[in-house]
């Protein structure tokens, strides 16, 4: 298993060296995360201070703008607490709000949300990995 993960990391590092745009680099990193932890989708939520909401800046499988008010849902809770949140079954967790599933047609089963914090300790956004198939590995 360890050898597989090293192989995956080197594969994506090669792609990162060849990519040009920042957007492309983010998608490569999200693809690597998808493969390493065996999930369907990843999203990077960026905090917009003016509107006090999180906006999905990069998202797999989404062709619409996703916004979440600060403090709402799993991503909002992760942002407010600066704590990683792992939810194995969204149906039994009160933090989960399915309005984005309704909007995208996706049926989230489990989630991991990780705060993105800069070197000054300021939270910039949230990285989220979603799965509709099974548990995280």
pLDDT in tens, 12-49: 888 888 878 988 998 999 999 999 988 999 999 999 99
Q: Please list, in sequence order, all residues whose beta carbon lies within 8 angstroms of the beta carbon of residue 106, skipping any fewer than 6 positions away.
A: 41, 61, 100, 130, 132
What rounded mean pLDDT belongs to the chain? 90
Distances (CA, A) of 91 to 10, 96, 108: 36, 8, 9
User: What integer pLDDT is reported at residue 1 of this predicted model?
Assistant: 65
Q: Which fold has domain 38-137?
A: Beta-Lactamase (3.30.450)
Residue 60 has a CB neighbour count (10 Å cut-off) of 16
Coil, strand, or helix at residue 23?
helix
Q: What is the spatial distance between Cα 62 and Cα 30, in angstroms, rounded to a whole number?
A: 14
Q: Please list, in sequence order, all residues whose beta carbon lies within 8 angstroms of the beta carbon of residue 98, skipping any fewer than 6 positions away.
A: 90, 108
pLDDT in tens, 61-97: 888 899 999 989 999 999 999 999 999 999 999 999 9
Coil, strand, or helix at residue 63?
coil
Q: What is the spatial distance between Cα 128 and Cα 137, in angstroms, rounded to a whole number?
A: 15
Quick one: what percent of the chain has pLDDT higher than 90? 58
Domain boundaries, the chain: 1-37, 38-137
The token duo for 116 is 């993105």
């Amino acid at each position: 298993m360890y050898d597989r993960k090293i192989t995956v990391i080197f594969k994506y590092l090669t792609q990162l060296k060849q990519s040009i745009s920042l957007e492309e680099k983010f998608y490569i990193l999200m693809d690597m995360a998808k493969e390493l932890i065996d999930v369907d989708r990843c999203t990077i939520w960026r905090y917009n201070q003016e509107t006090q909401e999180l906006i999905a800046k990069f998202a797999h499988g989404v062709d619409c703008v996703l916004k979440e008010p600060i403090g709402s849902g799993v991503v909002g809770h992760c942002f407010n607490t600066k704590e990683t949140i792992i939810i194995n079954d969204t149906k039994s967790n009160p933090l989960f709000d399915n309005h984005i599933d309704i909007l995208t047609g996706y049926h989230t089963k489990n989630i991991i949300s990780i705060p993105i914090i800069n070197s000054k300790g300021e939270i910039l956004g949230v990285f989220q990995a979603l799965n509709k198939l099974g548990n995280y590995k």
